[in-house]
Structures are given as structure tokens and as C-alpha cells.
Structure 1
């Protein structure tokens, strides 16, 4: 990773993140791994019987822990024949997994124009509509979807109230908000209370920090070589063992949680 790319990790502004992810796309192209780099999430490793995915994963699946995290956040929710929006789709792997498992209309939104261009080239097996857009000002009409998926992205938005308001705006009555990320306990308390105020009922609220840490324990140091030269900010972005984010998760200062919430409706669920 160039010094300029690593420096962008210091910024918590939307412009800083946009610059970082655009440069990251170029970096992955430069080192020749773009075509296999579909996921940026930390992954989920089953460590007990408290797993909710309705799907088995084929042996030998590449990036298996990242795939598991996507399927775990969906859990038992049936997304067939639904309009599904993933906010913060990144390299497109999450949206591709959902489109592969369900016969639904999938839209992927990300602020990085270069990531979206990659998604449009790379994910052609299923008809996924990839769009450039800001999570705080989505390029979508009101009440346009039956499910919103958000995987390990909301921590970077800088304005949780506005993000949750946008989620509510695009959701039809009865729509699901499938959300997993790492936030402070106070931020999670805010998310819960705000979702309630917006009319959502949280059906599942799980702390999956141990599963994510177990996945990070398996993370390959090769990724650090791809991203850069051992810069601690890079290790932190990847939540490698010993990094600040890894240790904050281990100490409980951050919680990696999975929430499935459904917008209230007068119709029969």
C-alpha cells in the first residue's frame, strides 16, 4: 500500500473513505488479485451451534468465512422474489452471494466509483444492478425495497441517524433490515432505540464478536503484503490479530453484532 493510501485510513470523512476505496481498487488491480478479491468483510467462523444460516457452504469455497458472514446475517429470512438493496456493497461479493442463493432483484450501492465499475465487470452471472451512491443520500426512491443488507460498513458513515433514516425511507412496510457491523456498545444502544422509533421490530440481536475474532485468527498475512508494507494502519483496517480494532473487539470496547429488524406493517407477516 502506498503511503498515500495508508494515510487515507486516518480520515473518517466520506471523502477520505471514497478516496481510500478508489485507490484500493487500483492497488488490487496492480498486484493482480482484483479478480479474486470480492470480499472485504472480516468473516464469520462457526464456533458453536448458535448459527442461523439456512445454507450449507460447499467444501473448498474461496473466502469461505466472508461468505458465511453474509449468509449468517440473512439467516432464516427468505429473500426470494424480493427487491434487495445492499448498502456499501464494496467489491460485490456480498451481493453476488445473495443473488446466487435467492431469486430476487438485487441492487448494490457503494460510494466508490472504481469499486462499482469492478462489480459491473466481475459479477455478471446474475443480474445485479450496481450503482454509485452515498449511504446517507441513496440514489433510490421511497419504499422501493423489501430488504436492506448492510455488512461491516455503517461504522464508516459518520452519521448513523441519517443512515438509519435513509434505510427507513427506502423500505416498504414489512421490509427487513439485515445489519452486521462493529460499533461501540453505546452506538449499538442508539441503533436499537432509533430503529424502534423508526418503526422497526428487532427480531434477532446477536453478539458475534467471538466468531469474527476466530475468523481474524485465520486471516492470512498475505493480505497485509497485498495491501502494503506492514503499516499498522493497514493491520488495523484488516483487524489482524494484535491490531487496535482486534484488541478493542477482544476487550469489549467494540461489539461485532448482527441485527435483523423488520419494519412494522398492518399486513400479515
Structure 2
């Protein structure tokens, strides 16, 4: 019993140390946002300082954070919805009615993610310019949907494949339509996968910088572009940028906590493949 208790304590200590190590960059960024610019640039780092919320207040009042935050929420929310609307039916077909070229189709969809953005930004910019999509939320939404569909197809095909095909076949014999099977059976049985996939698409779209900075100006720019604005010819305002970065990652952090149970279940199921 004592040996088992010692092992439990040791495992708890190691787990706590790993968690602290993983959270340390976030904690350090938060603390840097509470410092003055002088303390933030001090070498060696200043551990004892008078905390101040001025940088966080500035981000809301004068730093135009809320405008960029609103753009990000709208664009990411629409990107998740659009990626699911187009990617889930494709994943359903690939999982239950694959055909001979299902793997090739899936690989082709995923191959679009392998190409670096710099290789396609010129033709995309030309097309966007002619369609008047430059510096619009719609333009970025379409881009993020394009980037999100392959991930949804790939991940959700795996989760759909875990559903016994006998269930689908028996319901089809009773005359159920594919739409009914998809909405009433497949999706409810795949909720952990939906949560995991939605969260990953959210992180990808929330953090995307290259297309956002090249296809959007002041009107439709997202938070990553806002973060880049702290790099000026006079230097980098580390404390102010850290405060804005903390506010930018806070929604992702909260969403991860809310969806933690579904994420653990979904990632565990995904690892079993």
C-alpha cells in the first residue's frame, strides 16, 4: 500500500510539473502584460514588480482590440460552420460509401494543405481583387473554409468509420434516407469527434496570419494581424503586446476548458486509429 501511495504521489508531482511547464509561457505572457515596458525589457527578468492593468485597459480602450476581436470571432465562427457544412457530408460518403478512389480523393484534399501559402498568394490575390474580396470578412471566411474542409474530411472520416456499418445498413433497409441517417444517427454518435475537430479548426483559423495579413486591411484584419502592429520602427512594445496576446488567446483557453471532456474523449478515440 505504501509503495502504491508513493507511486501515486510521484505520478502526481510529475504530472503537475509537466502541466506547469506547459502553462509557463502563458503565465509569463500574462505577467509581462502587468509590467511596465522598462520592467518587461529588463535583463535579467524582473520577478518582483508593481502589477498594473494599464496595458490590458489600453488594449480595450485605445488599442482597437475589440474591432479585431469581432472580426476574428465572425470569421472563425463562419469558417467552422462552412467547413462542417461541406466537409461532414464528404466524410460521411468516404466513411460508408468509399468507392475505389476514396483514399486518392482524401489525399488530394489533404495535399492542398501541403502547399505553402506563398506559392499561391499571387493568383489568389488577383482573383480576390477582381471579385472585390480584398479586405472583406467574406474573403477570409472563404479562405479559412478552404483550409478547414480537408481537416474536417480527414478527421471525421476516421470517427465515422468507428460507427458499426451494420447500424447504417439496418436503418437503410428500413427505408431511411441518407439525410436522416446522417442527422439522426451518425452525427449524434460522433459528438466527441465533432468537438475535437471543431476545436482544431478553430485554433487553425484563429491563429492564421499569412492570408490574413495579405488579403485583409484595416476593415477585416484579425487578431494575429493586430499583434503584428506592435512591431514598430521604434522597437517592440513587449508589455503591451503581451497584454494583447493574453486577451487574444483567452477565448481559445476558455473554449478548451469548456470542451475538455469532449476533447479528451475525441483525441483518445482518434489515437486508437
Normalising by the residue count of structure 2, what TM-score does the alignment of the two structures yield?
A: 0.25
Which structure shows the bigger proportion of residues in strand conformation?
A: 1
Structure with max Cα Rg: 2
Which structure shows the bigger proportion of residues in helix conformation?
A: 2
Pick 1 or 2: higher relative contact order, CA cutoff 8 A, min separation 6: 2
Normalising by the residue count of structure 1, what TM-score does the alignment of the two structures yield?
A: 0.25
